[in-house]
Amino acid sequence: RVNMSGRRGALIVLEGVDRAGKTTQCRKLLDALQREGHRAELLRFPDRGTAIGQLINSYLEKKSNLEDHTVHLLFAANRWERVPLIKEKLQQGITLIVDRYAFSGVAFTSAKPEFTLTWCKQPDVGIPKPDLILFLQLSPSDAMKRGDFGNERYENRHFQEQVLRQFNELMQDENLNWKVMDASQCIDDLHQEIKSHTEKVMEQVGDNPIRDLWR
Ligand code: FDM
């Protein structure tokens, strides 16, 4: 379908620690945008549906073990395999709402001992740069109140605290459009905030070229 508006879609990423409500908010945002007549679609990473995604899925479910650098590169490859699709959709004027992106990639691996932020960022250098990154901020103690963690890999309090620290480092980057949201507020208030930031950015992108992340 051709894009008659001359305006590309916006690349909107939701990030945050586990239990912050990313997936719920992605859905609600998609519904709201579509209801208002915008073309919008959802993506999530990891995308467990591809061959690489299946390797990642079995690692996350602890059905297999992978060496730490190896799994990091698989997560990045799982994004790169979607880059042609992402660019195509944006050019067609479709706004993409993305549940986790390279920031989760870097935050989770660099939360492991012996990994630097610089090393972790390299494999994702050059993927499409988000127009907006919404960070759903939730303290580890508030996250705990939302119930037990599941049984997947990384779902424990100590590791999540390290992850949050790494996200905070990534948020210092002023070349990126981070917006920190208070995820402890009620679902609908948070949704309204997310929606208004998103709509503002959708208007601003115009026909600006899609930039490269971390380049
Ligand atoms: N995760 C996610 C990574 O370690 N690296 C990545 O690049 C991405 C996108 O995988 F624990 C981690 C984060 C989380 C898990 O969980 C995916 P969900 O519930 O599918 O978002």
Q: What is the pLDDT of residues 82-101, one digit of tens each?
A: 999 999 999 999 999 999 99
Q: Is the CB of 154 under 6 A from ligand 1?
A: yes
Are residues 179 and 134 in contact, defined by beta-carbon separation less than 8 angstroms?
A: yes
Residue 2: pLDDT over 70: no
Structure tokens at 105: 């990639």
Dist. CA 162–CA 114, nearest whole Å: 13
Sheet of 95-99: strand order equals: 40-44, 95-99, 11-16, 132-137, 178-182
Q: What is the pLDDT of residues 125-184, one digit of tens each?
A: 999 999 999 999 999 889 889 988 889 999 999 999 999 999 999 999 999 999 999 999
Structure tokens at 88: 């195509």
Element at 18 (helix H, strand E): none
For the entire predicted model, the pTM comes to 0.97
* ipTM > 0.95, yes or no: yes
The confidence score (pLDDT) of residue 63 equals 98
The confidence score (pLDDT) of residue 135 equals 98
Cα(179) to ligand 1 centroid in Å equals 20
Give the model's confidence band at 111: pLDDT under 50 very low, under 70 low, under 90 confident, else very high.
very high
Residue nearest to atom 3 of ligand 1 (CA): 105
Dist. CA 41–CA 122, nearest whole Å: 27
Dist. CA 25–CA 194, nearest whole Å: 8
Q: Are strands 132-137 and 11-16 parallel, antiparallel or unpaired?
A: parallel
Dist. CA 150–CA 164, nearest whole Å: 18
Q: Over pLDDT 90: what percentage of the chain?
A: 92
Atom of ligand 1 nearest to the CA of 76: 7
Give 43's strand partners: 98
Residue nearest to atom 5 of ligand 1 (CA): 105
The confidence score (pLDDT) of residue 149 equals 86
Cα(160) to ligand 1 centroid in Å equals 12
User: Residue with structure tokens 């698989």?
Assistant: 74
Q: Is the CB of 167 under 6 A from ligand 1?
A: no
User: What does the pLDDT average to over 72-81?
Assistant: 99
Spell out the alpha helix ranges (H) of the chain: 22-35, 51-60, 68-80, 83-91, 102-110, 117-121, 140-145, 157-170, 187-205
The confidence score (pLDDT) of residue 15 equals 98
